[in-house]
Amino acid sequence: MTRTPAAERSVSRRRLWPLYAAGFTTAFGAHGVAASLGSPDGVVRSLVSLGLLLALYDLAEVVLKPVFGALSDRIGARPVLLGGLLGFAAVSAVYAVVGGTPALWAVRLGQGIAASAFSPSASALVARLGGAKRRGRAYGGYGLFKSLGYTLGPLLGGLLVHLGGMRLLIGSMAVVALLVAGWCALAVPALPTPPKQRQTVVDLARQIVHPTFLIPVTALALGTAALSVGVGFLPVSGGADGLGALATGAIVSVLALSSAVVQPLAGTALDRGRLSSRIGLTGGLVVIAAGMACATQPKVIFLVAAALLIGIGVGLVTPVGFAALADRTPEAELGRTMGTAELGRELGDAGGPLLVGVLAAAYGLGSGYLVLMIITVLGAGTVFWWSRRHQEAVR
């Protein structure tokens, strides 16, 4: 029986929901534990140990996301997705049983490796199952659930650690990952692996420097840098203005909520032709830069405006950037492309706070915001110029 267009859309949405849940899982896994490690109820007392434990998860992702992305192109994204989720559940369950700080090191590394497998695979499947005509909306929904993971992760993590310690938190992550793996196994179809030509390191290098890859990934990296700086340093600015933890947490919530709301709207506008990739990427970066400019001002109203603008800008850049990548990537290379693009985002995630932190230590926090604003403006101009010269790179 032939399905109506409405029925096709309903089936597509049902297949995407478990992938959205996988996006939530990786964000919850990263931020739920990270925000609780150094809490009074956490298990880490040394700042050096805290920094190294935080870096383990991200280091695994930086190194392995392109590798697992390429593997998903070779054997199919679904088995890599399921293997990553089951691996995440397994290593988390080990800590829930064993506990202790020594085991936590191995578990965080294992979680990072597992997330490196299922995160780019889920992103590639979103592109294929969402379809070319609804790709922006699909990535908007995926970004929405990742934002929810980033937002709720610290809150749920803190609550679970308070109730039962780190073992309860990581044990809960094992349950979540196992449930999501089961959902994906039932709802996500096994798509045929497209025929793939042999790729060399030279081919990968050409892809990385090609405008179809470089334009959206530059925007994604700058957006992620701003997001990390906003989450990490706006509370510091608020504290300097005399705000308490509740008020500074509310400011970060404004950032996360605005990003979560804008992403599906931006993706839908892109699919309907109301927003072009060029305008979405450059406009999003300009809005982010405006948010950084607001952050340089000391009053609370400017910090709220900064959080709102950064969130809106990130909400524009993220679904548009990933949709632009998927539009210009052959299906046989989606996994590798998404894995390598995630590497660019991870570099922004680490580089933005590092840059602002170094400048803040030397010249004050305002100088860090200012320099990141200038870099973002230059990035917006570069993305706009590149996309004008290489119109095939964006839609």
Co-location of 306 and 175 in the same domain: no
Distances (CA, A) of 290 to 255, 351, 353, 368, 377: 14, 20, 18, 14, 9
Residue at which a domain ends, from 132, 159, 186:
186
Co-location of 74 and 15 in the same domain: yes
Co-location of 167 and 257 in the same domain: no
Co-location of 60 and 179 in the same domain: yes
Co-location of 53 and 181 in the same domain: yes
Co-location of 88 and 224 in the same domain: no
Residue at which a domain ends, from 186, 220, 250:
186
Single-letter code of the amino acid located at 136: G
Tokens (6 digits) for 4: 């109506």
The string of DSSP letters for 9-26 reads HHHHHHHHHHHHHHHHHH
Phi-psi region of 243 (alpha: psi -120 to 50; beta: other; left: phi over 0): beta
Co-location of 160 and 278 in the same domain: no
Co-location of 58 and 130 in the same domain: yes
User: Considering the domain boundaries, does residue 375 fall inside one?
Assistant: yes
User: Considering the domain boundaries, does residue 238 fall inside one?
Assistant: yes
C-alpha triplet 362, 222, 269: angle, nearest 5°: 150
The string of DSSP letters for 323-379 reads HHHHHTS-GGGHHHHHHHHHHHHHHHHHHHHHHHHHHHHHH-HHHHHHHHHHHHHHH
Q: Largest alpha-carbon pair distance within the chain?
A: 68
Instruction: For residue 26, give the CATH number of its domain.
Output: 1.20.1250.20
Co-location of 326 and 348 in the same domain: yes
Question: Residue 394 gets which letter from DSSP?
Answer: -
pLDDT tens sequence for the chain (395 residues) = 444 444 445 556 788 999 999 999 988 888 777 656 655 455 555 555 655 676 678 788 888 888 898 898 888 899 999 999 999 999 999 999 988 878 888 898 999 999 999 998 998 899 889 877 888 889 999 988 988 887 777 778 878 888 888 899 999 999 999 999 999 999 999 888 776 666 666 666 666 677 778 889 999 999 989 988 888 788 888 888 888 867 877 888 888 889 989 999 999 999 998 999 999 999 999 999 999 999 999 789 999 999 999 999 999 999 999 998 888 888 878 888 888 888 888 888 878 888 888 898 889 889 999 999 999 999 999 999 888 876 655 55
Co-location of 49 and 158 in the same domain: yes
Contacts of residue 370, defined as CB under 8 A and 6 or more positions apart, other chains included, come to 292, 293, 296
Co-location of 295 and 387 in the same domain: yes
User: Considering the domain boundaries, does residue 194 fall inside one?
Assistant: no
Q: Residue 250: which domain range?
A: 199-395
